[in-house]
Amino acid sequence: MTSRIEILNAGGYRSDGRRQFELRTIEIDFSPHGSNSDGSATISHGLTQVSVSVFGPREAKMRSQTFHDRANINIELNIAPFSAGERRKRGRGDKRVLELVQTLKSTFEPVIQMSLYPRSQIDIYVQVLQQDGGLLQACINATTLALANAGIPLFDLVCAVTGGVHSTSPLLDLTQLEENDLPNVTIAVMPRSGKMALVSMETRLHVDRFEEIFRLAGEASTVIHGEIKRAVKETTANLVDAMQPGKSSAGTNAENEY
Please tell me the least confidently modeled range out of 33-37, 125-129, 221-225, 236-240.
33-37
- What are the domain boundaries of the chain? 26-257
Query: Is CATH 3.30.230.70 the classification given to domain 26-257?
Result: yes
**pLDDT tens-digit series, residues 169-187:** 899 999 999 999 999 999 9
Could you tell me the end-to-end alpha-carbon distance of the chain, in angstroms, rounded to an integer? 44
Residue 149 has pLDDT above 60, yes or no: yes
DSSP 30-43: ----S---SEEEEE
pLDDT tens by residue, 190-216? 988 889 999 998 788 878 888 888 889
pLDDT band at 97; cut points 50, 70, 90: very high
CB 26 within 8 A of CB 172: no
Question: What does the pLDDT read at residue 250?
Answer: 46
Q: How confident is the model at residue 251 (pLDDT cuts 50, 70, 90)?
A: very low
pTM of the prediction?
0.89
Please tell me the distance from the alpha carbon of residue 124 to that of residue 77, in angstroms, as a whole number: 8
Average pLDDT rounded to a whole number, residues 29-43: 85
